[in-house]
Amino acid sequence: MPIDMDRMHWLNEPPSWELNGGRLFVRSGHKTDFWQETYYGFHRDDGHFLGMTRRGDFTAEISFIGHYRELYDQAGLMVRHGARQWMKCGIEYTDGARHFSVVVTNGNSDWSAFRLDHEFGAISARVTRNGDALFVQYRTDRMEEWRMARLAWFDPTLEELSVGPAFCSPQREGFEAEFLDFRLTDPLSRDIH
């Protein structure tokens, strides 16, 4: 489904973006990031995020391509309530390779990541919210099935969230990504297996 910006809003609008044929082309600002405290000791909430408001349970899916070059270049999907309660997932460039990364922030941030060793162009991320859980999945354009990345706790009392594409470049400016599509629907299923 093409990206429809009529119902979406920017948090930290990037210096360069264009919507063309339902695809969103973006370029990051200087040293942008989302992180809260853990291990590194800093608080950052200046990454770029294009959100759509959603209440209750849902499934969100996004497909994207990034031109990863520098440490921590990243693009993907964000679920957000505010600076201290959010989740982001997608590709993050670390140790010279693309990793599927999930950061969950409930006051403080945590980070899980695993390396994707096979070649791919586009990748898709899917997040399903069911009550107190976010079920995170991924699939590259070389894979048939969705694979589980994480099942994370997320505060069920937060009724209204923003959901959509996010990207940042903590070490530089000018990271480029292309978001191919985005959909936000009722939850697909509670099934994990």
Higher-confidence position of 5 and 15: 15
pLDDT tens for 143-192 read 999 999 999 999 999 999 999 999 999 999 999 999 999 999 999 987 77
pLDDT at 5: 85
- Mind listing the pLDDT tens digit for each residue in 93-103? 999 999 999 99
Gap between the Cα atoms of 78 and 81, Å rounded: 10
Q: How much is the pLDDT for 92? A: 98
Nearest-angstrom CA–CA distance, 128 and 149: 12
Type of residue numbered 10: W
pLDDT the model gives residue 3: 83
pLDDT at position 102 is: 98
pLDDT at 193 over 90: no
Question: If you ran DSSP here, which 8-state letter would residue 95 be given?
Answer: T
Give 100-124 pLDDT, tens digit per residue.
999 999 999 999 999 999 999 999 9
User: How big is the chain by its Cα radius of gyration, in Å?
Assistant: 15
Domains of the chain, CATH where assigned: 5-185 (2.60.120.200)
Nearest residue to 185 (alpha-carbon basis) of 126, 138, 135: 126
- Cα 179 to Cα 40, 103, 111, distances in angstroms: 29, 20, 23
pTM of this prediction? Answer: 0.97
| Predicted confidence band of residue 69 (pLDDT cuts 50, 70, 90) | very high
Provide the mean pLDDT of the chain. 96
Enumerate residues 6+ apart whose C-beta is below 8 A from 191: none
DSSP states along 162-188: EEEEEEE-TT-S--EEEEEEEEEES--
Q: Identify the pLDDT of residue 52.
A: 97
Longest dimension (CA), the chain: 41
If phi > 0 it is left, if psi is from -120 to 50 it is alpha, else beta; for residue 21 that is left
In Å, what is the CA distance from 126 to each residue of 94, 149, 172, 188?
22, 10, 27, 10
